Chains A and B, each alone.
Chain A
């Protein structure tokens, strides 16, 4: 029996090796009522151009953008961290970039996005960890959980690289472990109905 119901204001996604396939399975499935803003860190080579953004903008119903510093977070929009910059969410829900040192050998780092987003949205945030061959995102997921947000992890069985989802499952009390092909619909439902505890 549900004792309380929670709704959400934003989604953050962290993904590394195998990300193109995984995100292609999720983002285009968002229906047009799925208005929660989505911020994504996809690890990529430091010289990468905005290929990912153009690719998904073409593929998705929602508008997909590469973040520029101090962009306001708008509903129904999907944001990618640019290559070689960390992405942070400010308390006033604008987006900041930083070139501070790599975190977990990564810039952008998933932990940097998740920790700052957790502070900004507290219990109204959903964090999703997908395929990847490292453990970036584990600290960030822990902070989201600590502040009352929801954590979803891609079932490692369905992940091209298992280390990243495995690490979160090992260290964080995750809410859901979902096969890749169900995550898009799960988010659509979450957006419509909220989450019942």
Chain B
């Protein structure tokens, strides 16, 4: 192996040690995140910081909590939308909701809810299907700052225009503007949509089961985990679902390459909707 190849290996060791330090000092465990992704993000921070290498970064973050906070944001991608991939919501309406309607009461968990757009979309959907009264929604994320933005439910007007478009494509039945109050620059999600949502901090790597869910949505979170961690988290979802409960992943995520592939049946391939085997 050439010199450059040797350096790549050395860098991997430095990054492993840095993640170890993050875990020991701050209790956030990124050791089983997708390595290529972690390296990209840390490299970006390294270039911005003017430091020479990951070992220097490791030293700095142990002694400087504010520096760690930057890294926490570097490592968590929060990109989200209301009614992201509208056809998925359409499928949920058509395929999952009719089954959920047979239950007297349902529980829905959004794991990795980011700034809240996904759970508010689901609240709208449930309201339109006449199910909100007998539903409890849980929205969790491991990033407390992001979670507080989710609770606020305030979004810039220019992104709302994209959301309106998504809403209509998702089979929305009403006037989207009924769901928020707006001034010239921002929209705030109406109170009525929030009262069934419980926001709380939950780390998928280290925290445990959420009981007896009828539907779990965890979209565009598993892509940041390596296979071992994906297996662990899929097991956690399996344990948190009631028999016959639904799991909805991101459209480019799959349980095909995991150990849990036989524990779920495939409901919709494009939309990545699965159902726990009874």
Q: Are B223 and A69 in contact (CB under 8 A)?
A: yes
Per-residue 0/1 for B1-30: is the Cβ within 8 Å of any A Cβ (1 yes, 0 no)? 110110010001000000000000000000
Q: Are B227 and A94 in contact (CB under 8 A)?
A: yes
Does A58 interact with chain B (Cβ within 8 Å)? no
With A68-B253, A70-B257, A120-B36: A147-B223 Cβ-Cβ less than 8 Å:
no
Give chain A nearest CB distance to B2 CB in angstroms: 5
Please, which residues of chain A bring their CB within 8 A of the CB of B224?
98
Does B144 interact with chain A (Cβ within 8 Å)? no
Size of chain B's interface in residues, with CB distance under 8 A? 29
Does B39 interact with chain A (Cβ within 8 Å)? yes
With A90-B35, A122-B4: A115-B227 Cβ-Cβ less than 8 Å:
no
Report the Cα distance A79→B1, complex, angstroms: 27
Does B37 interact with chain A (Cβ within 8 Å)? yes
Does A33 interact with chain B (Cβ within 8 Å)? no
Give chain A nearest CB distance to B107 CB in angstroms: 27
Q: Are B252 and A68 in contact (CB under 8 A)?
A: yes
Give chain B nearest CB distance to A20 CB in angstroms: 22
* Overall SS of chain A's interface: mixed
Contacting residue for A69 out of B2, B40, B77, B254, CB 8 A: B254
Contacting residue for A147 out of B4, B41, B226, B253, CB 8 A: B4
Q: Are B4 and A82 in contact (CB under 8 A)?
A: no
Contacting residue for A70 out of B2, B79, B227, CB 8 A: B227
Q: Are A115 and B40 in contact (CB under 8 A)?
A: yes
Report the Cα distance A119→B36, complex, angstroms: 9
Does A59 interact with chain B (Cβ within 8 Å)? no
Contacting residue for A123 out of B5, B12, B226, B230, CB 8 A: B5
Query: Which interface class (under 10, 10 to 19, 20 to 34, 35 or more) fits A?
Result: 20 to 34
Per-residue 0/1 for A73-111: is the Cβ within 8 Å of any B Cβ (1 yes, 0 no)? 000000000100100111100101111110000000000
Does B220 interact with chain A (Cβ within 8 Å)? yes
Q: Are B227 and A89 in contact (CB under 8 A)?
A: no
Give chain A nearest CB distance to B7 CB in angstroms: 9
Q: Are B8 and A68 in contact (CB under 8 A)?
A: no
Q: Are B5 and A148 in contact (CB under 8 A)?
A: yes
Report the Cα distance A170→B180, complex, angstroms: 51
Give chain B nearest CB distance to A34 CB in angstroms: 25
Closest residue of chain B to A90, judged by CB? B36
Does B222 interact with chain A (Cβ within 8 Å)? yes
With A70-B230, A97-B252, A100-B79: A88-B36 Cβ-Cβ less than 8 Å:
yes
Closest residue of chain A to B250, judged by CB? A69
Q: Are B36 and A69 in contact (CB under 8 A)?
A: no
Please, which residues of chain A bring their CB within 8 A of the CB of B1?
122-123
Q: Of residues B5, B36, B224, which shows the largest number of chain A Cβ atoms within 10 Å of its Cβ?
A: B36
Please, which residues of chain A bring their CB within 8 A of the CB of B161?
none
Please, which residues of chain B bring their CB within 8 A of the CB of A101?
79
Does B256 interact with chain A (Cβ within 8 Å)? yes
Does B168 interact with chain A (Cβ within 8 Å)? no
Does B34 interact with chain A (Cβ within 8 Å)? yes
Does A67 interact with chain B (Cβ within 8 Å)? yes
Does A116 interact with chain B (Cβ within 8 Å)? yes
Please, which residues of chain A bring their CB within 8 A of the CB of B227?
70, 94
Please, which residues of chain B bring their CB within 8 A of the CB of A146?
4
Closest residue of chain A to B249, judged by CB? A69
With A69-B252, A90-B34, A100-B77: A148-B2 Cβ-Cβ less than 8 Å:
yes
Closest residue of chain A to B3, judged by CB? A148
Q: Are A68 and B4 in contact (CB under 8 A)?
A: no
Q: Are B226 and A119 in contact (CB under 8 A)?
A: no
Give chain B nearest CB distance to A175 CB in angstroms: 16
B residues in contact (CB < 8 Å) with A: 1-2, 4-5, 8, 12, 34-37, 39-41, 77, 79, 220, 222-224, 226-227, 230, 250, 252-254, 256-258
Known A91-B12, A122-B4, A147-B4; 8 more pairs at CB < 8 Å: A88-B34, A91-B36, A94-B257, A100-B79, A119-B36, A122-B1, A123-B4, A148-B5
- Please, could you name 20 A-B residue pairs with CB atoms under 8 Å apart, sorted by A? A68-B253, A68-B254, A69-B254, A70-B230, A70-B258, A88-B34, A88-B37, A88-B40, A91-B12, A91-B35, A91-B36, A98-B224, A100-B79, A119-B39, A122-B2, A122-B8, A123-B2, A146-B4, A147-B2, A147-B8
